[in-house]
A and B are shown apart, each in its own frame.
Chain A
Amino acid sequence: MSNRYDIAIVGSGPAGLSAAINAKIRNKNIIIFGSSELSGKLIKAPKIDNYLGLPDITGIQLKDRFQHHVANMGIDITYERINTIYAMGQYFGIAVNEKMYEASAVILATGIEYTKALKGEEEFLGRGVGYCATCDAPLYRGKIVTIIGYNKEAEAEANYVNELAKKTYYIPMYRESLNLNENVEIVRDKVVEISGGNKVEKVILKSKEIVTDGVFVLKDSIAPDKLVPGLIMENGHIKVDMNMKTNIEGCFAAGDCVGKPYQYMKAAGQGQVAALNAVFYIDKN
Chain B
Amino acid sequence: MVEEIKDQDFSQSIENAPTPVVVDFWASWCGPCKMLSPVIEEVSDELSGKAKFFKLNVDENPVTAAQFKIASIPTVMVFKNGNMVDKFVGFRPKDAIKDALEKHI
Bind each other: yes
Task: Show the binding face of A for B, using Cβ within 8 Å.
Answer: 84, 86-89, 93, 95, 125-128, 130, 135-136, 138-139, 198-200, 214, 229-230, 248-249
Residues of chain B lying within 8 A (CB to CB) of residue A88: 35, 38-39, 93-94
Considering only residues 1-46 of chain B, those with a C-beta below 8 Å from chain A are 27, 29-32, 35, 38-39, 42
Please determine whether A84 and B89 come into contact, CB atoms closer than 8 angstroms: no
Q: A84-B32, A84-B91 are in contact. Are A138 and B72 (CB under 8 A)?
A: no
Cα distance A12–B31 in the bound complex, in angstroms: 26
A to B contact number (C-beta, < 8 Å): 69
Task: Show the binding face of B for A, using Cβ within 8 Å.
Answer: 27, 29-32, 35, 38-39, 42, 58-59, 65, 69-73, 75, 89-96
Residues of chain B lying within 8 A (CB to CB) of residue A87: 93-94
Please determine whether B92 and A136 come into contact, CB atoms closer than 8 angstroms: no
Q: A230 touches which one: B38, B69, B70, B96 (CB < 8 A)?
A: B96
Residues of chain A lying within 8 A (CB to CB) of residue B35: 86, 88, 93, 95
Nearest CB in chain A to that of B92: its residue: A230
Question: Main secondary structure on chain A at its contact with chain B?
Answer: mixed
Cα distance A127–B72 in the bound complex, in angstroms: 7
Q: B93 touches which one: A126, A198, A214, A229 (CB < 8 A)?
A: A229
Residues of chain B lying within 8 A (CB to CB) of residue A248: 93, 95
Please determine whether A86 and B69 come into contact, CB atoms closer than 8 angstroms: no
Please determine whether A214 and B31 come into contact, CB atoms closer than 8 angstroms: no
Give the 9 A-B residue pairs with the shortest CB-CB distance, closest first: A126-B89, A87-B93, A230-B93, A86-B35, A229-B91, A126-B72, A230-B96, A230-B92, A89-B94
Please determine whether A135 and B71 come into contact, CB atoms closer than 8 angstroms: no
Please determine whether A214 and B71 come into contact, CB atoms closer than 8 angstroms: yes
Cα distance A129–B30 in the bound complex, in angstroms: 16
Q: A136-B30, A138-B27 given. 4 additional CB < 8 A pairs?
A: A86-B32, A135-B30, A136-B73, A200-B71
Residues of chain B lying within 8 A (CB to CB) of residue A86: 32, 35, 91
Nearest CB in chain B to that of A138: its residue: B29
Please determine whether A198 and B69 come into contact, CB atoms closer than 8 angstroms: yes
Residues of chain B lying within 8 A (CB to CB) of residue A138: 27, 29, 59
Please determine whether A130 and B91 come into contact, CB atoms closer than 8 angstroms: no
Q: Which of B58, B72, B73, B75 has the most CB of A within 10 A?
A: B72
Say how far A221's CB is from chain B's closest CB, in angstroms: 18
Residues of chain A lying within 8 A (CB to CB) of residue B89: 125-127
Residues of chain B lying within 8 A (CB to CB) of residue A249: 95
| 22 A–B contacts from the bound complex (CB under 8 Å) | A84-B91, A88-B38, A88-B93, A88-B94, A93-B35, A126-B71, A126-B89, A135-B30, A135-B32, A136-B30, A136-B71, A136-B72, A136-B73, A138-B29, A138-B59, A139-B72, A199-B69, A229-B32, A229-B90, A229-B93, A230-B93, A230-B95
Say how far B43's CB is from chain A's closest CB, in angstroms: 10
Please determine whether A130 and B38 come into contact, CB atoms closer than 8 angstroms: no
